[in-house]
Structure 1
Amino acid sequence: MERFSEETIEEVLRREDDGVLTFADDNEPYGVPVSYGYDGDRFVFQLSKSKRGRKADFIDEEPLACFIVYAKHPNRVVESVIATGKLRSVPESDQREAFAVLRENTDFPLDRELWSGSDGGSENRLYELVPETLSGRAYGTGKP
């Protein structure tokens, strides 16, 4: 196992574009795969809140969250970065900048006007996680 330097963590986070955002509430875990943006200081997520979904139960409370980014390589090495911090709604005054961060790091085209529409039961919003802890490592049978 190799622990990552801050520079290697930054490289992994800029190279990858998705991970798993996890929460816990009264010992009930919940995780959701998400795409993300990263600007060196914070992660930005586009989350859809459905009245029928469990995600809304967690994110309305500005929960402590754990975000995991990982990559498995053909040489049998796995890299992972784990961040923890509070998940917060992006303030209206910061929406444009946060959306640009998300757009820069995602693997699919984003259209802010289309994204801001509703599918009839969901509300799309931008959320951010400023890491309180950030660590990374590589492990496996190959060489990184």
Structure 2
Amino acid sequence: MKFKAIIILTFLLSISSFIIAQNLIGLHANEIKTIMPKLRPKFHIDNTTVEAKSIKFIDQGGDNTLIFFIDDKGICKYQKFMMEVNYAKNTVDTLTKNYKYIDKLTWIDKRNNTDYLIQMQNNEYYFTVVYSLKDE
């Protein structure tokens, strides 16, 4: 029983660290493709978005997805992480612990003199965490 609890805790911590550590806004698409396998080896690129201006990564189970949205110059403008709803509470707790909470499931991430907006959107079976540059 202890082993199962350790596995669950490890998984939840890895999901939490994924949420708070992977702000790749401003990087070129080629950099993202190079970096992601090193940052998240359990996620792999999903080439179903070939025509879209995005890069999609999914976890081994196919339940969690990270999409980087790319502009015409190949630069990441914002990103979305979609996860199963059972990780929502842990995600809120992690975001609140690590970032400044504003209101309505919205946080500010201050990095390198830049403000990023983190917004969480809930749905019935999954939720989405969106990272974007904060509008001035």
TMscore range, shorter length: under 0.3
- The structure that is helix-richer by fraction is 2
**Which structure has the bigger radius of gyration?**
1
TM-score (normalised: structure 1): 0.25
TM-score (normalised: structure 2): 0.26
